[in-house]
């Protein structure tokens, strides 16, 4: 793999053991981050096919290319949680872990005898990250809730799109990914608490709708103080002008963020409107936002008279923040992506080389790396069972009775 540590130093989460009882996006993305930075992540999957994400989106020789990335650096073990010996295996695994990440519907683990109270009795220092649609409490806790529901309830969908059309979604499961990030942050805060305040673990309760809701900027105070309900505004940034996406003569799309006072003046001069650069009524954001329709109309008109390359050249020379709207094609050819090593080279099981996303964030002394891609289902079951003291004969028996 490329993108590994250049100095061979220890990764920041080395020595931590993480057990993942999760499928699809929120839980597995949370643990993926931990695994990229050195934690030993043991992913527990059902023997009957494992994580459904293994079969999601584009498949290569029967396995999702997404799985190669989402499962990287994780050990895959199988356990049948409906079988008592399968549950006992998982209980022992969690008893030796620092972090458990799960994204079952609330109540499922309790029914399996793997409640927080039971797990804490075995492992008082355990940090248990619980990702669910609505959280572990409240009247909605038992309802199923995917990222799309969290995005809708959390406020994101309502403001996304154009005012004359129904709400739209982003092109990815952003609600799940945001929840995963909060889960990882919460786990690290809980570990810090454990380190300095007596060694006790705790539950990190992340609801998908709350994870999205937490990103909604000034929505709450604006509504509470002014009764203002933020609506869909298309590509503009409401209340901050100018910041939008404009179509060029050759049919490309360029995002321009010229909402700083000095930046706006440079922008107007660059497009031949020194009169607006010097207009005292447009010297601050409030004045510009009051005339947003006029400003956006003139930017639209200017962009439509130039090809994308010329637009970007003019704006770069004027130091106006701008960008083409990148597709994967643009990313693969872009010198910034390449210089920052945002693509790593890897190999599929048949030897075919391909590229995977680089690791974020970049730590100067203890960077993350890709050690291996998403493993075959159950590839590490025998190894992990053996580390818990199971003999080869007992492992054969567990497999024969359907426990693993």
Local confidence band at 238 (pLDDT 50, 70, 90 cut-offs)? confident
Whole-number pLDDT of residue 7: 46
Q: In the chain, which residues fall in CATH 3.40.50.10540?
A: 17-215+339-400
Which 8-state DSSP code applies to residue 319? T
**CATH 3.30.1540.10 domain span(s) along the chain:** 243-247+253-324
E strand residue ranges, 122-252? 127-132, 202-207, 243-247
The number of residues in the chain equals 404
Query: How, if at all, do strands 127-132 and 343-347 pair?
Result: unpaired
pLDDT score of 300 more than 90: yes
Over residues 159-196, the pLDDT tens digits come to 999 999 999 999 999 999 999 999 999 999 999 999 99
Q: What stretches of 227-321 show up as alpha helix (H) in DSSP?
A: 261-270, 274-277, 285-290, 292-304, 308-317
* Stretch 118-122: mean pLDDT: 98
Catalytic residue IDs: 176
Query: pLDDT per residue over 258-294, tens digit each?
Result: 999 999 999 999 999 999 999 999 999 999 999 999 9
Rounded CA separation 367/274 (Å): 47
Three-state SS at 356: strand
Mean pLDDT for the chain overall: 96
Selection from 202, 212, 132 nearest residue 178 by Cα: 212
Contacting residues for 75 by C-beta, under 8 A, at least 6 apart: 40, 41, 42, 43, 375, 379, 380, 383, 384
pLDDT at 5 over 90: no
CA distance 20 to 33: 12
> If you average pLDDT over residues 192-211, what whole number do you get?
96
CATH fold of 17-215+339-400 reads Rossmann fold (3.40.50)
* Average pLDDT rounded to a whole number, residues 383-387: 98
Q: Please choose, from the candidates 360, 276, 268, the residue with its C-alpha nearest in 3D space to the C-alpha of residue 320.
A: 268
- Give the position of tokens 């609506």: 231
Query: What's the pTM value of the predicted model, to 2 decimals?
Result: 0.93
Would the pLDDT of 331 be above 60?
yes
Burial of 166 per CB tally in 10 Å (0-12, 13-18, 19+): exposed
Look-up: residue for tokens 């969690």?
94
Mean pLDDT of 369-387: 97
Q: Please state which of the ranges 2-16, 76-90, 181-195, 250-264 shows the lowest mean pLDDT.
A: 2-16
> Please, are residues 260 and 241 in contact by the beta-carbon 8 Å criterion?
no
* Alpha-helical regions (H) of 62-130: 65-70, 84-95, 108-111, 116-122
Which pLDDT does position 1 carry in this prediction?
Answer: 59
CATH classification (class only), 243-247+253-324: alpha beta
C-alpha–C-alpha distance, residues 289 and 282, integer Å:
9
Q: Which tokens in the block code for residue 288?
A: 């510009």
Nearest-angstrom CA–CA distance, 67 and 59: 9
Sort residue 182 into left (φ over 0), alpha (ψ -120 to 50) or beta.
Answer: alpha
pLDDT of residue 241: 97
CA gap 61, 351 in Å, rounded: 12
Q: Are 321 and 242 in contact (CB under 8 A)?
A: no
Categorize the per-residue pLDDT at 9 as very low, low, confident or very high, splitting at 50, 70 and 90: low
Residue range 195-216: mean pLDDT, rounded: 96
Work out the pLDDT band at 4, boundaries 50, 70, 90: very low
């Amino acid at each position: 793999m490329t993108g590994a540590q250049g100095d061979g130093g220890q990764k920041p989460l080395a020595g931590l053991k993480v057990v993942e009882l999760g499928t699809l996006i929120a839980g597995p993305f949370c643990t993926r981050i931990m695994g990229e930075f050195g934690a030993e992540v043991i992913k527990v999957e059902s023997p009957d096919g494992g994580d459904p994400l293994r079969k999601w989106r584009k498949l290569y020789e029967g396995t999702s290319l997404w799985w190669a990335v989402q499962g990287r650096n994780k050990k895959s073990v199988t356990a049948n949680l409906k079988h008592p010996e399968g549950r006992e295996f998982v209980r022992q695994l969690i008893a030796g872990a620092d972090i458990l990440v799960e994204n079952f519907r609330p109540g499922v683990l309790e029914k399996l005898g793997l409640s927080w109270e039971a797990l804490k009795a075995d492992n008082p220092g355990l940090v248990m990250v619980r990702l669910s649609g609505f959280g572990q409490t409240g009247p909605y806790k038992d309802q199923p809730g995917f990222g799309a529901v969290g995005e809708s309830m959390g406020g994101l969908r309502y403001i996304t799109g154009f005012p004359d059309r129904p709400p739209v979604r982003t092109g990815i499961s952003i609600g799940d990914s945001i929840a995963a990030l909060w889960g990882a942050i919460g786990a690290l805060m809980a570990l810090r608490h454990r380190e300095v305040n007596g060694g006790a673990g705790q539950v990190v309760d992340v609801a998908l709708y709350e994870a999205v809701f937490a990103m909604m900027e000034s929505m709450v105070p604006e509504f509470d103080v002014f009764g203002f309900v933020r609506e869909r505004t298309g590509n503009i940034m409401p209340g901050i002008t100018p910041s939008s996406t404009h179509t060029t003569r050759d049919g490309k799309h360029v995002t321009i963020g010229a909402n700083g006072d000095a930046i706006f003046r440079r922008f107007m001069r660059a497009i031949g409107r020194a009169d607006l650069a010097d207009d005292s009524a447009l010297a601050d954001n409030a004045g510009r936002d009051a005339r947003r329709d006029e400003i956006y109309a003139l930017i639209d008109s200017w962009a439509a008279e130039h090809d994308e390359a010329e637009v970007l050249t003019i704006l770069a020379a004027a130091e106006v923040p701008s960008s083409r709207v990148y597709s994967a094609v643009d990313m693969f050819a872009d010198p910034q992506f390449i210089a920052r090593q945002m693509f790593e080279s890897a190999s599929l099981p048949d030897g075919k080389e391909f590229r995977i996303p680089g690791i974020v964030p970049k730590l100067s002394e203890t960077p993350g790396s890709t050690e291996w891609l998403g493993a075959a289902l159950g590839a590490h079951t025998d190894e992990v069972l053996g580390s818990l003291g199971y003999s080869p004969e007992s492992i054969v028996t567990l497999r024969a009775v359907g426990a693993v």
